């Protein structure tokens, strides 16, 4: 019996055991007040640890606490772009680390600059750097003095997905997406054989997401505009019709709709039937703290 147990323990199959992976939505809303939702934010739990954070807009910090996530377990923060509803709670997160044993390097990835927006490195410096940051009293997290160090990285505009991070069984790919004039990135996070892909805010014009999300387990898209939207809103965001096309072409197993706004809330039936014209898989409308196990 003992021998059998030992054989089982040493079985090479166990070396390939898959991690437990869960996607949790922190904020399922957009930038508006009145949607009763936190702004954009997601956490990926790997074997019970809050390892990867995607966006961190207003209110996401409270949801992070409520979800039981810990900054000392975070390895990477991925910013889809630098709009307020995707980044506003970062200072709160960094400050909260002071009261924990968080240490080592915390990597922050986001887009490079253009004429409208700073690069992610410059954004982090303007927030925290000693002598120039709005919260320069947290500058010790950039210059080596604090135990937890923020390491910011710029992702240059690239219409072909590239690997930006690899550690253990985690691999992260990034590609540019079209969000009007704002530099924006979609990410695919692979953990072993499982994957989650995040569109961020985008309107689909670059046709990069459908390739990035090929056969992904979960595709998280932003449901910021309803059927028939035109003008500025449609230059920034995907219509349900476009979401359906991308979900179908990518062959994603599950579609999670988030970044829900007053103009789309209450229109779930209409949105779903637009998406259904193309996509026959599982469709979920996210709420704050919704969890999806892979």
Give the residues lining the site for Zn ion (CB under 5 A): 85, 201
Using the structure block, give the residue that is written with the tokens 């002598």.
131
71: its two tokens: 């900054």
What is the Cα–Cα distance from 52 to 95, expressed in whole angstroms? Answer: 18
Write the CB contacts of 156 (distance below 8 Å, at least 6 apart in sequence): 112
Q: 76: Cβ–Cβ under 8 A, 6 or more apart, which residues?
A: 51, 52, 53, 106, 107, 108, 109, 165, 172
Q: Which is nearer to Zn ion, 199 or 216 (CB)?
A: 199
Q: What is the nearest approach in angstroms of Zn ion to the Cβ of residue 31?
A: 6
Q: How far is the CB of 81 from Zn ion (least distance, A)?
A: 8
Smaller CB distance to Zn ion: residue 139 or 226? Answer: 226
Cβ nearer to Zn ion, comparing 71 with 220: 220
Distance CA 66, CA 41 (A): 13
Least distance from C-beta 57 to Zn ion, angstroms?
7
What's the min distance (Å) between Cβ of 86 and Zn ion? 6
Distance CA 190, CA 42 (A): 15
State which residue, 19 or 197, has the beta carbon closest to Zn ion.
197
| Distances 284 to 146, 220, 258, 275 between C-alpha atoms, Å | 41, 10, 9, 12
Half-sphere CA count of 98, side-chain side, radius 13 A: 11
Which CB sits closer to Zn ion, 35 or 85? 85
CB of 237 to Zn ion, least distance (A): 8
Give me the least distance between CB of 17 and Zn ion, in Å please.
37
Q: How far is the CB of 82 from Zn ion (least distance, A)?
A: 11
- Which residue, 85 or 112, has its beta carbon nearer to Zn ion? 85
- H or E stretch at 175: strand 170-179
In the complex with Zn ion, the residue whose CB is nearer, 119 or 199, is 199
Q: How far apart are CA 75 and CA 61, in angstroms?
A: 17
Q: Can you tell me the distance from the alpha carbon of 86 to that of 99, in angstroms, rounded to the nearest whole number? A: 24
């Amino acid at each position: 019996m003992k021998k059998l147990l030992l054989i089982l323990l040493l079985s090479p199959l166990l070396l390939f055991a898959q991690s437990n992976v869960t996607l949790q939505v922190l904020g399922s809303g957009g930038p508006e007040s009145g949607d009763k939702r936190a702004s954009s934010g997601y956490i990926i739990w790997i074997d019970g640890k809050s390892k990867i954070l995607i966006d961190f807009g207003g209110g996401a910090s409270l949801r992070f606490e409520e979800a039981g996530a810990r900054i000392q377990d975070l390895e990477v923060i991925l910013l889809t772009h630098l709009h307020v509803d995707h980044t506003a709670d970062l200072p709160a997160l960094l400050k909260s680390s002071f009261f924990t044993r968080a240490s080592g390097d915390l990597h922050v990835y986001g887009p490079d600059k253009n004429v409208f927006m700073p690069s992610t490195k410059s954004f982090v410096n303007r927030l925290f750097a000693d002598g120039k940051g709005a919260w320069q009293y947290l500058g010790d997290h950039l210059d080596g003095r604090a135990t937890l160090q923020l390491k910011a990285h710029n992702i240059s505009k690239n219409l072909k997905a590239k690997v930006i991070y690899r550690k253990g069984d985690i691999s992260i790919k990034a590609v540019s997406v079209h969000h009007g004039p704002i530099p924006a990135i979609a990410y695919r996070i692979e953990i072993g054989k499982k994957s989650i892909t995040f569109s961020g805010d985008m309107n689909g014009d670059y046709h990069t997401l459908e390739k990035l999300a090929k056969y992904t387990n979960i595709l998280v898209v932003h449901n910021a505009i309803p059927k028939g939207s035109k003008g500025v809103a449609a230059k920034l965001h995907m219509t349900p019709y476009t979401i359906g096309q991308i979900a179908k072409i990518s062959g994603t197993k599950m579609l999670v709709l988030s970044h829900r706004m007053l103009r789309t809330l209450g229109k779930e039936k209409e949105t779903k039937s637009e998406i259904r014209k193309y996509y026959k898989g599982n469709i979920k409308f996210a709420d704050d703290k919704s969890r999806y196990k892979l």
